[in-house]
Amino acid sequence: MNALTNLIHLCVIAVTLLPVSSSSGFLPPYEQPMRFVGKHWSEDAGDQAITATATLHELGKGDFGTAMELRITTSSPSRRIEPLQWVLTPEGALYDVWFGEENADLKKWMSGTSKPDFSLADVRIPARDAESDELKKPTDESVTSSEESWLYTMGLTSISIRLNPNRDVVRYASLHEGNSNFSTFVFQKDIGLVRIARGSGAHRDGWELDRVFVPSEKVAATADVSQLFAALPIEAMPNLGSLAMLVNPVERKKLLQQPTTPPQGVRDVRVDLKNGYLSISSATDGEGDVLESALWKRKNGARLLAVHVKHWTAGPEATSDVRLFEFKNGEFRVATFTDLPLPEPRDFFSKPDEQNNSGPFIAGDWKLPQSGTAIVIRPELEDDEDMLDGVKCAADQAIELRWNGTKFSRITIPRAKKLH
C-alpha cells in the first residue's frame, strides 16, 4: 500500500496499531519531549501564537489495555491545555477517553471493579452529499445518537483509531454535531504525533499544534533546496528504502556537495538550485527508490520543502511517502496536513458513482515540479491502462496542487498518460 493511499485517506479512524512497546513507530516513547508550535484561541482573550512541549506518560495497565496521558505545557501560562487521555487496547485500538475526576474511573478499571465503556466514543459513518460536500445524518434507524456521544467524522471510521504498521499516516478527525466540539490527532510513522487540535463551541475556544524539529545544523533563512534537505534531522526523514544511507544528515550533505561522485548505492544525483529541485536514485536492479525534494518560497520569507520517495519495480512506480515542512524561525514545522490540500479518493473521478468500481482506495503517483511550482498527482493504474488491482477502474482525473506564492490550491485535471 503506498503513500497516497494513506495521504488521501487522512480521516480514517479505524486504522491498525501495535502496542506502544513495539517498533510500529506511531506513538512516541514515554516521557520523551516533543516540540510543537501553533495557536490558542478563546472568545474572551482572542488568538495567541504559542509554542508547546508534549510528553506521553503511562498511567497503568489492565485487562482493558494501557492507559496513557499526553501532557502539554505551553509557552503562555494563561493558555493552559488539559491533558489528553488515551487507552491502547491489547488489539491495538487507541481510544480518546476521559479517566474521570482525579482518574477515579481509571482506578476502577485497574482494580477490576468496573470496565471501560468505549461505546461512548463510538464514531459512526455519516453520509456525504456529493454536490454540497456536507455531511448528512444516517437514515439507518438502528443508529442512535445523543448529544453526549454523537460524533461526525469525514472518512471511513469505526469506534477507535487503529494504528496500522502498513500505513504511513493515520488521522482521527471528529466533530460533535450538538455543540461543534472537534478533535484532530494525526500520527505519522517513524515520527509519531505530528498534529493535535481540539476546540469547542464552533471554534469559540480551542487550540491547534503542529510538530516542529530543530535542523541538524544551523541554516540560513535564505537556504536553498539542497541546504534545507541536508539539514532535515534524522527523526523527520521518511523511510528511504534502498537509499537508507541518506537518513544521516552528514551523508546527505556530503553527497550534495559532491554530486558527481555519489557513494555506493546511489546511481544518479540531480541538483537544480535555480528551480529549487533535486532528485537522487538508487543504484539497484529490478527495483529501487527515487527521492525528490522541491522548494517553494513564501512571500513572508518562509520556505516550504517537500520530500517525496517513490519506489519502482518492473511494474508501475508507486509513491511511498510525501512530507512537507515549513522552514521558519530556524526550525522545520510538519506542514503536510495543514498546507497541502490533500485529495480524497473521489477527487480522481469525474462521476462520483464510478468510485465504487475500485474500492475504497486509489493509489497515487506524485510528481514534484522540476520547473514551475505545481505538484501533480495522478491515479496509480496498472501499466497506464484503466485497471487497478485487476479491476476495471474509471478514475479519469488527476490532481494539480497549484502554488500562488502563499499557499497551494487543489484542482482536478484530465488524467495524463505520462508525467514529465
Can you name the residues that pair with 38 across neighbouring β-strands? 50, 209
* pTM (global) more than 0.85: no
- Residue 383 grid cell: 501499466
Tell me the torsion sign for CA atoms 200, 65, 185, 138: negative
Q: What is the pLDDT of residue 55?
A: 96
Q: What is the pLDDT of residue 249?
A: 94
d(CA 58, CA 67): 6
CA 130 vs. chain centroid, Å, equals 24
Q: What is the pLDDT of residue 236?
A: 92
Can you name the residues that pair with 307 across neighbouring β-strands? 293, 323
pLDDT tens for residues 94-104? Answer: 887 888 889 99
* C-alpha separations of 406 from 9, 75, 299, 326 in Å: 25, 27, 6, 12
- Residue 312 grid cell: 519502482
d(CA 53, CA 72): 6
- What is the domain partition of the chain in residue ranges? 3-212, 214-340, 343-420
Q: What is the pLDDT of residue 385?
A: 56
d(CA 310, CA 368): 11
d(CA 2, CA 319): 6
Q: What is the pLDDT of residue 97?
A: 82
Q: What is the mean pLDDT of each run of 10 residues along the chain (420 residues)?
A: 28 32 65 94 88 95 91 90 88 80 90 76 35 39 33 34 63 68 82 88 83 95 96 91 91 90 88 96 84 95 94 69 93 92 79 55 76 88 54 77 94 68
CB 262 within 8 A of CB 274: no
Number of Cβ within a 10 Å radius of residue 141:
6
Q: What is the pLDDT of residue 391?
A: 54
Q: What is the pLDDT of residue 163?
A: 59
- Strands (DSSP E) found in 237-374: 266-272, 277-282, 288-297, 303-312, 318-328, 331-334, 364-367
Can you name the residues that pair with 35 across neighbouring β-strands? 53
d(CA 381, CA 402): 23
Q: What is the pLDDT of residue 39?
A: 94
- Residue 252 grid cell: 546527505
**3-class DSSP state of 252:** helix
Number of Cβ within a 10 Å radius of residue 295:
24
Q: What is the mean pLDDT of the chain?
A: 76
Q: What is the pLDDT of residue 419?
A: 42
Q: What is the pLDDT of residue 60?
A: 92
CA triple 28-31-36, angle to 5 deg: 65
CB 26 within 8 A of CB 167: no
CA 390 vs. chain centroid, Å, equals 28
* Cell 516513547 -> residue: 29
Q: What is the pLDDT of residue 98?
A: 82
Under the phi-then-psi rule, with left for phi > 0, alpha for psi from -120 to 50, and beta for the rest, what region is 159?
alpha
Can you name the residues that pair with 297 across neighbouring β-strands? 303
Long-range contacts of 85-93 (CB under 8 A, 24+ apart): 87/116, 87/118, 88/17, 88/19, 88/20, 88/27, 89/64, 89/65, 89/160, 90/19, 90/65, 92/16, 92/17, 92/18, 92/19, 92/162, 92/163, 93/17, 93/159, 93/160, 93/161, 93/162
